[in-house]
Structure 1
């Protein structure tokens, strides 16, 4: 029991340190400013469209309106946070290695599990506060502009986003554990992002071309399709898409499965991060 208590205390200390350091930096406030600005511009534009064309935005709630508001919330709050949290996660361990502070940590009663768990919960706590502030601002703007919203739908998107961000954090920590310095970790993140983006673009282009299985184009399309199928398992957005579709269909079972997939994804990459630190050591 004492060992477990010590481990929980270490996780709490590491998480709190990560959380407080984040909110001591200017980056998080710039990111919040961007979220608020996008939310304001988007909702103000919707309110003006509703007034000018008498569409069902201001004084009624249709499925299309609800989907539109949810999409705006997703972009303004979740996507911007995704970029910030992703960069923060992929550089956090690499930064500790580069500054040699990670070596000092591991002289104390800190092991790989408590270190990764502390970092993970610190990042999740950061996102929860960002989400709370952003969601409150978004909802207050809706009331200010007389835009009716489906609070339940917004809450579902918000909860689903926590699971998406958990995947991003876990994947980012894994990439950071593999990197020896901040520069390398950023290049790894850029490389992975470019690869996934290029594959998606090529797949989209090939879908518009006529399919001939014996031609070079057909063989290339088949290969890209297999890569895209594999990417669906390693891209957090694939699991988010499942949940977003479930929200649109009001399918709570599918929504729960999406969250379950995200939990499994996060646990796998957190375990891989721990294994990497154990194999490579903290001084690498």
Structure 2
């Protein structure tokens, strides 16, 4: 089977690279004719045109390379920019997440501190109220104790009675006794019922204690009967350290306390009656 010449020619043209303008100019030829253009002039023009075409082709080639390089650079730059945007978005997202986490942690810590401060303030208020109530209770207890002490002192003053002077003196109110015979601090009390002895005389010829008073017997020194029991003498005590609130003793400022001698009773014995 013979090959088709048209098919072979078509296949050859399909695979052949098209000739450039410079190549076509190199292969151009003009037929000879009488009375035509000068051949040398035409060849010179063709040579110049060929140089121009080659220059243009070279420039086009360089521009193509530059354009290709610019395209590649643009693609690389675009990739870098894309990666930079992605990195920036990632960094922004992580920073925003960290900021939100820190803000939430700060809010939780602030809430805890506020709660603790409120609890502490409430506890301080409760403790202050408790201390105030305790103070009021102590004040009331002190007042009650002071009232009891004053009441006991008043009762003691009411029960206190000065002994009769040798069994003949009339009872005298404690306030009046304090007004008539005030006792000076540091001075030795004189015996009841006796006048102060003149200077140079023995104030107690019988040798008895000047602070001891016999509560029984005749004031004029008459002897007692044989069946009479001896009485317990009393001694004047020291001045009280603290003045009582009895109005009858406020004028004198001092009180006299009776103190029983050892071995005797607290109440003065009654005078034996014949």
TM-score of Structure 1 vs Structure 2, range by shorter chain: under 0.3
Q: TM-score, normalised by structure 1?
A: 0.19
Greater length-normalized contact order (CA 8 Å, ≥ 6 residues apart): 1
Could you say which structure has the higher strand fraction? Answer: 2
Higher Rg? 2
Q: TM-score, normalised by structure 2?
A: 0.19
Could you say which structure has the higher helix fraction? Answer: 1
